[in-house]
Amino acid sequence: MTALTDLLAARIAADGPMTLADYMAEALMHPEHGYYSTRDPLGAAGDFITAPEISQMFGELVGLSLAQAWIDQGQPNPFCLAELGPGRGTLMADLLRATAKVPGFHAAAQIHLVEASPTLRAEQAKRVSATWHDDTTTLPDLPLFLIANEFFDALPIRQFQRDGSGWREVQVTVEGNALVSALSPAKPVPELEYRLQDTKDGDIVEICPALLAITSVIASRIDAHGGTALIVDYGDWRSLGDTLQAVQDHAPVNPFAAPGQADITAHVDFEAIALASSPAKYTRLTPQGVFLERLGITQRAQTLAAPLSGDALDTLVAAHRRLTDPAEMGSLFKVIGIYPNGAPPPAGLEP
């Protein structure tokens, strides 16, 4: 039981069951009790670790891919260099260090960070000077070069279970003192019409309303002004099955047990990103390991390894393996790019 459990139980008693999306939004971003609003969850001492926290190589290589895209598109000046959900600001700091010698890149860049958590904004401000935004709609009308790592998985999802030609929505309700999930009666869901062809009774599918809204803002900026977005996350091409997961202290927990205390995420449906990226173009969905290898992670690791020995060398070798090995993050994590018509696909994401 948490303070947030009580608040949500009272709201459900008054208004009826909540959608999973409303529940996730409160659990992650409630101003006083939300998971991200109140803490820095990253790193070995936190609940989970991300690619930029594993190694500087990740942000460096993302930076070089974006800088190459900027060169390929005629070095627009000024341009918006943006990150969604920058965590501790580590990726952006590594990206900026790696691109410092790209002529004109820093001079033309205006750095914009989209971050909802005041706690994490304060962490980011220690490493990067930038303009902060609550959401993507206020990003400047400029060519947009953007990275989002493990951002889309934190966006609230709705879940539906197929029932005949309709769908029962997974909702959050109260049982005794506890929050539990329960199914609504079946109803038609127009957004899921196309899924009637590839699902059967009892199958679960997920939709992420915020993903669609955010992707269309990004894609229309890129279509209008140029730019490139790199979106890195775990997930797959089409949503099927229950992918909701909660993690606390690096271990899985029940997502309804302690809202505000655990990270709650879902796998990203990259097909939904691709569909929302029109009229801009999207790249082939590429495993993270392949993306990083194409950008030269092995050469970079060798350079960094040269002066190292002992534990420091072991840590670097382990980080390289963790980011690229298919048995670790190399194939669960995937990358999709959004880029303008007439430009080449971003480096690392060629067909």
Contact map string, positions 67 to 86, toward ligand SAH, x by CB under 6 A: ------------------xx
- Find how far residue 265's CA is from the centre of its chain: 10
Query: Which one of 52, 255, 260, 346 is in contact with ligand SAH (CB under 6 A)?
Result: 52
Closest contact distance (angstroms) between CB of 341 and ligand SAH is: 28
* C-alpha radius of gyration, the chain, whole number: 21
Residue nearest to ligand SAH (CB): 85
User: Nearest-CA neighbor of 135 among 217, 19, 220, 225?
Assistant: 217
- Could you tell me where the DSSP H helices lie in 128-244? 209-225
Distance between CA atoms of 135 and 319, rounded to whole angstroms?
32
Closest contact distance (angstroms) between CB of 151 and ligand SAH is: 5
235 makes contact with ligand SAH (CB under 6 A):
no
Q: Where does this chain touch ligand SAH (CB under 6 A) — which range of 8-16, 49-57, 97-105, 167-175?
A: 49-57
User: Nearest-CA neighbor of 179 among 351, 332, 10?
Assistant: 10
Non-local CB neighbours of 127 within 8 Å, separated by 6+ positions:
88, 89, 90, 92, 93
Query: Which one of 54, 102, 120, 347 is in contact with ligand SAH (CB under 6 A)?
Result: 120
Question: Is residue 177 within 8 Å of 1, Cβ to Cβ?
Answer: yes
Nearer to ligand SAH, 76 or 140 (CB): 140
Nearer to ligand SAH, 52 or 346 (CB): 52
Query: Which one of 34, 59, 87, 227 is in contact with ligand SAH (CB under 6 A)?
Result: 87
Tally Cβ neighbours within 10 Å of residue 140. Answer: 16
115 makes contact with ligand SAH (CB under 6 A):
yes
Site for ligand SAH in 146-205 (CB under 6 A): 149-151, 154-155
Query: Which one of 18, 21, 42, 109 is in contact with ligand SAH (CB under 6 A)?
Result: 42
233 makes contact with ligand SAH (CB under 6 A):
no
Distance between CA atoms of 55 and 149, rounded to whole angstroms?
14
Site for ligand SAH in 20-39 (CB under 6 A): 28, 36
User: Nearest-CA neighbor of 203 among 231, 145, 163?
Assistant: 163
The angle formed by the CA atoms of residues 147, 238 and 328, to the nearest 5 degrees, is 60
**What does DSSP assign to residue 281?**
E
Closest contact distance (angstroms) between CB of 43 and ligand SAH is: 9
Residues that bind ligand SAH (CB under 6 A): 28, 36, 42, 50, 52-53, 85-87, 91, 114-117, 120, 149-151, 154-155
